[in-house]
Amino acid sequence: MALVALLAASALTACATGNQARLEPAPAVTPTAQFALTAESRVEPIHLRINPTGISANQARALDQVASQAAWTAGQPVDVQIITSPDPASMAAGNAIAGYLAGRDVSRDAVSQFSVQSQPVEIVTVNVVSYRASVPGCGQTWENLAATRKNTPHANFGCAITANLAAQVADPRDLVDPATATPSDAGRKSVVLDKYRRGEVTSAAKDEQSTGAISQAIK
């Protein structure tokens, strides 16, 4: 009913004004929010043929390259997908690949493994999924910034802010699904509150080792 009412209202507006009715997108809450920051993903597949004797030397070199990107020590937002067929031998090969990557600093949280009926029985596919922050095209053309008589933001207002945020985001996946916050230290909080209620100093004790001094050699 709501859609019918909306279409009817649009038709009435078109008849009254003589112009074709159109639905405008919702305006941004603030002028700096007119350029949305989004995350883009890129998938690089690697197809490994199942070897009866285990992971071959060539396959190990390929998986080492995957680990160099996906390892938690690399500091890059990368996920690894291991795709096998439902065949037990294929799933076992997938488990062996996951174990190989885990032994090379790839976190278990970054690896997902699942079976697909259409996947060839003799092939295990390893998808390396990387992410980057994306900014819509802006800053290509400019109007007269001195024309401020209407007191409205210019068309590119917020473009630089969004681009700077894209360069600073450590993990673009947080733009889609923010990471869960770690729990607070309730014990430490209660200690500080107890000292506050007793009127005692709540700051941490001074660390003498962190005290800096100017070298006497240049005096």
* Domain locations in the chain as residue ranges: 31-35+136-175, 43-129
* pLDDT tens-digit map of 151-203: 888 888 888 888 888 888 888 888 877 777 778 778 878 888 888 898 988 88
Closest CA to 80 of 98, 95, 103, 60: 98
Closest CA to 101 of 73, 123, 120, 121: 73
User: 43-129 belongs to which homologous superfamily?
Assistant: OmpA-like domain (3.30.1330.60)
Residue 79 in this model has a pLDDT that exceeds 60 = yes
Provide the token pair at 32.
């700096």
pLDDT in the model for residue 13: 36
Torsion sign (Cα): 104, 108, 112, 115: positive
pTM assigned to the model: 0.61
* pLDDT tens-digit map of 28-77: 667 767 788 888 888 999 999 999 899 999 999 999 999 999 999 888 88
Residue 80 in this model has a pLDDT that exceeds 90 = yes
Q: What are phi and psi of 143, to 5 degrees?
A: -100, 180
pLDDT in the model for residue 4: 35
Of 31 and 97, the one with more pLDDT: 97
Residue 3 in this model has a pLDDT that exceeds 50 = no
Q: What are phi and psi of 205, to 5 degrees?
A: -65, 150
Torsion sign (Cα): 111, 115, 116, 121: positive
